[in-house]
Amino acid sequence: MDQKLNELKTILAEVADLQHAAAVLSWDQQTYMPRAGAEARGYQLATLGRIAHQKFTDRKVGQLLDDLRDAFPPDSDEYALIRVTQREYEKRIRVPPEFVAEQAQVTAAAHEAWVAARSQSDFSLFEPHLARILDLVQRYIGFFPPSDHPYDILLDDYEPGMKTAEVQAIFSELSKRQVRLVQAISQAKQVDDSFLHFKYSIPKQRAFGEKVLMAIGFDPNRNRQDQSPHPFCTSFSINDVRITTRYQGNFLNTALFGSMHEMGHALYEGGFHPSFERTPLASGASLAIHESQSRLWENLVGRSMAFWEFFYPKLQKKFPAQLGEVSLGKFYKAINKVQPSPIRVEADEVTYNLHIMLRLEIEIAMVEGAVALRNLPELWNEKMKEYLGVVPPNDAQGVLQDIHWSFSGLGYFSTYALGNLIAAQLWEKIHSEITDLSAQIRRGKFDALRGWLYANIHVYGRKYEPKELVRRVTGSSIDPAPYLRYLETKYRDIYEL
Which residues are tagged catalytic? 262
Count Cβ atoms within 10 A of the Cβ of residue 386 and give its class: 0-12 exposed, 13-18 middle, 19 or more buried: exposed
DSSP 138-179: HHHHHTS---SSTHHHHHHHHSTT--HHHHHHHHHHHHHHHH
Count of residues for the chain? 497
Neighbour tally for 35: CB within 10 Å:
9
Nearest 5°: the CA angle 46, 231, 410 is: 55
Q: Which amino acid is at 21?
A: A
d(CA 310, CA 78): 44
d(CA 182, CA 184): 5
Helix 414-433 with 164-186: angle, nearest 10 deg: 70
Count Cβ atoms within 10 A of the Cβ of residue 15 and give its class: 0-12 exposed, 13-18 middle, 19 or more buried: buried
d(CA 332, CA 195): 12
- Residue 390 is given by DSSP the state -
Q: Which amino acid is at 109?
A: A
The answer to whether the CB of 286 falls within 8 A of the CB of 159 is yes
The answer to whether the CB of 478 falls within 8 A of the CB of 287 is no
